[in-house]
Amino acid sequence: MTLNPQAVGLESSESTLRFDWKTLALYALGIGAKRSELDYLYEAWGPKVFPTFAVVPGYPVLFDLLGRSGGSLLQVVHATQSVRVLGPLPRSGELSTVGKIVGLYDMKKFAQMVFETRTSCEGRPVFETEWSMFFLGEGGFGGPRPPKSPIPKIPSNAQPVFEVEELVPTEQALLYRLSGDFNPLHADPAFAAQVGFSEGPILHGLATYGYCARALIHSALGGDATRLRAFHAQFRKPIWPGEKLRTEGFLVDGAYVLRARAEGREDPVALCAADIVPPQ
């Protein structure tokens, strides 16, 4: 298939998701939440909501628009992700999400397509997200370059203000996919090998994204997830279940910037930046 430039402006139909405390707790477990984080796991204590849950109601919309873009789904790589929280969630309800393809950019050897979603809970806006995907081998058609990344560069002499190291369980991708991303790349060894990952299925980039957000919330925000109003990420390298993930947080011009690495590998797995609400 060939990516269709006319897909820019394409809108999805509305997708709905009924959720309750089990939906929220399952997502929290999927991004590594531990027994010590009962506020996010136990119905009698909430549960609280990790802001990166905003991606979950967007999955059906994203897959719909990807399928209608004309590009090969075997050549798609998740490039960047942003979420913005507009309001709190109740402990149960119905989420309604719509999406749109808003940009297509020529990166020479590949194309970058940008999607946006908007989610409401029973008529009240709660989330906005932006997703960008690389379509490998689809470049060379000309046009503008993509917008500048919202993630500042970490100075070479910067020292982390916090570090969090977690072992990613070997079953973590199988757990995370239950929240809605059923790409076989994260479950099927034969499929993973077919698309170039002979080591086996990789962890979802958005699971790593959630791990990074948790590290920030617990290390710099006193465990108060409501202070994380927006979270941006660039995905650089895969990580495999069973590896250790080390997340380092830096203050760059007064804002938190995160770098996540797999143990024993120098190149970052992900780089993230956060928009923070000051403490009350």
- Per DSSP, the residues of 86-97 read -S---SSEEEEE
Annotated catalytic residue within 78, 186, 204, 232: 186
* Residue 186 a catalytic site member: yes
> Is residue 194 within a helix (H) or strand (E), and if so which, with residue range?
helix 189-194
* Residue 78 a catalytic site member: no
The answer to whether residues 52 and 24 touch, using CB atoms and an 8 Å cutoff, is no
Instruction: Kindly report the pTM of this predicted structure.
Output: 0.96
Are the folds of 1-147 and 151-280 the same?
yes
Packing angle, helices 21-30 and 205-220, rounded to 10: 90
Q: State the sign of the Cα–Cα–Cα–Cα dihedral 259, 263, 203, 170.
A: negative
Is 151-280 a domain of CATH 3.10.129.10? Answer: yes
The answer to whether residues 115 and 83 touch, using CB atoms and an 8 Å cutoff, is no
What ranges do the domains of the chain cover? 1-147, 151-280
CATH number of 1-147: 3.10.129.10
Annotated catalytic residue within 39, 64, 78, 181: 181
d(CA 93, CA 90): 7
Q: pLDDT tens digits, the chain, 280 residues: what are they?
A: 588 888 999 999 999 999 999 999 999 999 999 999 999 999 999 899 999 999 999 999 999 999 999 888 888 899 999 999 999 999 999 999 999 999 999 988 899 999 999 999 999 999 999 999 999 888 888 877 888 888 999 999 999 999 999 999 999 999 999 999 999 999 999 999 998 899 999 999 999 999 999 999 999 999 999 999 999 999 999 999 999 999 999 999 999 999 999 999 999 999 999 999 988 7
